[in-house]
Amino acid sequence: MSETTDVSALELAALMCSRVCHDVISPVGAITNGLEVLADDDDPEMRTHAMELITRSAAQASAKLQFARLCFGAAGSAGAELDLQDAKAVAEGLMMGERATLAWDAPVATIGKDYVKLLLNMILIGMAAIPRGGDVSVTVEGDLAKPTLRVLSTGQAARIPEETAKFLGGRDPDRFLDARAAQPYFTGLVARSLGLAIDARMDGESFVIEAAFANGGESI
């Protein structure tokens, strides 16, 4: 699918903000519910349960926001590099509230911040590919100035997410882009801005999303 230019920067920013709000509204709502129990209920068992809910939900909200900061935000200055261990840490934090486990195979090194942004977005797509849970394996290899990024997801009923199939390569004029679809669309934009080809496919019963330079490192 060829990329189109029918999504304005303003529209995309609004959709991505909606995506972040959607991700954090559930744990924030749970914190509110827990605080209401503390305010209205004197039963020790209920208060203990409420504190556990608040603690768990606050950690989940924090993990989601830390992940979103690197995944969607503008961390660092133009041309900045980020530590792959920091990317691993925010991915592990996100996974703690999900039904998926993370395997990380990447060097201990810094890498261009937009590669980190792309990798984290690929992890989100990899998680969406296994809605019933499973394993997400992340690989960063090759020259770190022009790396190959790969996410492999294995789990029951693994499949290419519908929004990824429709929007990773751009948007056809007759397709409506909503907040859920904006994330794979954004992922494709980031990959192409770096000169990488990005592909999502099934490999047997596993889902793979890979971003790489063509011809051994030449931009496309």
Q: Residue 7: what pLDDT?
A: 83
Q: Which residue has the tokens 């690989």?
A: 139
pLDDT number for residue 220: 41
CATH topology of domain 9-212: Heat Shock Protein 90 (3.30.565)
Note the pLDDT of residue 1. Answer: 42
pLDDT (tens digit per residue) in 43-87: 999 999 999 999 999 999 999 999 999 999 876 655 689 999 999
Identify the CA nearest to 193 among candidates 175, 166, 167, 211: 211
Give pairs for 166-173: CB < 8 Å, separation 24+. Answer: 168/125, 168/198, 168/200, 169/1, 169/2, 169/3, 170/1, 170/2, 170/3, 170/4, 171/3, 171/4, 171/6, 171/7, 172/1, 172/4, 173/4, 173/6
Span 154-201, pLDDT tens digits:
999 999 999 999 999 988 777 888 988 999 999 999 999 999 999 999
pLDDT tops 90 at residue 99: no
